[in-house]
Amino acid sequence: MRTLLMMAPYFAPQAAVGAYRSVKLARHLPAQGYRPVVLSGTFESDARDEALLGALPDAVIVRDAYLAPAIARLQTKRARAPKVATNKPLTGLDPFHGGFDRYAIHALHAARTALKLGRTQDAALVYASLGPYSMAPVALLVARLLGVPVVLDLRDPWALHETGESVALESARVRLTAAVVRQAEQSVLARASHVVLNTERALAAYRAEYPWIEAKSSCIRNGFDRGLYRTVDKVGPRSASRFRVLHFGTLRADTPIDDIAAGLRLLIDRERLDPSTIELSQVGHIGEHERRVIDRLGLSPFFREEPRVAYGDGLTVMRGAHLLVVANTPVVRMRVSAKTYDYVASGMPIFTGRNDHARVACGDAEGVARVLAEHFAKWRASGALPSPAEPPAELSSEAGAARLAAIFDALLSAGGSAPSAG
């Protein structure tokens, strides 16, 4: 079995969306002939789920040593400082306004640690899960010193991120930052042995912007891993006392609650519904902005805010809803929310602004109300939750790991080049 140095600052036991892709791939790479040795970096303040570590096979070695301890302690102390309350929604990834990521200051320590780990474990190649994007030059340097190929996996677009489309209209500082990010990305991609994007649209955009990466770029989607859930059995129809619409995960500026709330208000008014028959549930982060939207529309009696649950319990929660919501703004074109694949694993109906089970354009409250009404009518007729559908195998993490291993195989073959895929 060949050893893979997997550089993934976001990794188990972190209960963060950035960790799950790497965890899922690492779980299934040993079956493809690769032993992941993971270099991760967990801050003391990070949310944790120890079950994620327990779900890794014995072949996977995890070294939580990316962070320089003294620097990490200072960062944790700063993170504990009181924050100013705001009514603005959370912002997602933004490479042009946010400055350096929190891992950037650890680059030198991480490079030394990764190089030592790669040498002692006899790594055959390096795989880096980006972001943090500050890790890209670290991974490239370590791979060069080890004399092995390096695969860079962009979990989200970097310099081509959609938030950069209005940079030309902003301040000189933001424009300068965007130019630096663009130059950094171009340099990094040129030196990588292979580049992975996680949607077909992102892959197409990167190939259009950098035509010379076509022969060394692929798409490997995010995927679901049913082995991470504590409940996996398919279940039949179950009675339900009320119709439940569920959003699972973080609400942010690019994943707003506004459309689903406005459509729900229309349905409630038209059907003269009361809270005993219908509810909107949010599992995960909700801020003052979202609470104000709910209050303004008079939906507080119909809204249920639920505490965050462990990843392994997510399937049970999702299978307790009639309709699962993916919320996006029009700017989100190259990304597919990772939770969408968990929704797919649940087998329950999905309501989204993308091309999935039900599709409604952003801002179309009437369209939202129409879809809600269709599913609500089915519940009224049956009084039951939908029976979960079997998820497609091609969207599983096993399939993703097989595609990634094929790239590794080609890079390590004599004179081979990694296959490109659209």
Q: What is the mean pLDDT of residues 76-88?
A: 73
- For the entire predicted model, the pTM comes to 0.91
Alpha-carbon gap, residue 128 to 359, rounded angstroms:
34
pLDDT, mean over the chain:
89
Query: Between these two residues, 149 and 174, which has the higher pLDDT value?
Result: 149
Cβ-based neighbours of 150, under 8 Å, separated by 6 or more: 125, 126, 127, 128, 139, 140, 142, 143, 191, 192, 193, 194
Check: CB of residue 326 under 8 Å from CB of residue 339. Answer: yes
Measured distance CA(117)–CA(35) in Å, rounded: 13
pLDDT at 237: 54
* Helix boundaries (H) for 241-338: 258-271, 288-296, 314-318
Residue 130, pLDDT above cutoff 70: yes
> How far is the C-alpha of 147 from the C-alpha of 412, rounded, in Å?
12
Tokens matching residue 127: 């795989």
Q: For CA atoms 401, 342, 289, 376, give the dihedral sign.
A: positive
Give residue-wise pLDDT tens across range 195-227.
Answer: 999 999 999 999 999 999 999 999 999 999 999
Q: Is pLDDT of 170 > 70?
A: yes
Give the chain's end-to-end CA distance (angstroms, integer): 28
Contact 151/196 with Cβ under 8 angstroms? Answer: yes
Q: Which helix (H) or strand (E) holds 350?
A: strand 350-352
Structural domains of the chain sorted by starting position, each given as residue range(s) with its CATH number in brackets = 2-223+396-412 (3.40.50.2000), 228-385 (3.40.50.2000)
Examine the pLDDT at 340 and tell me if it is beyond 60: yes
DSSP for residue 10:
S
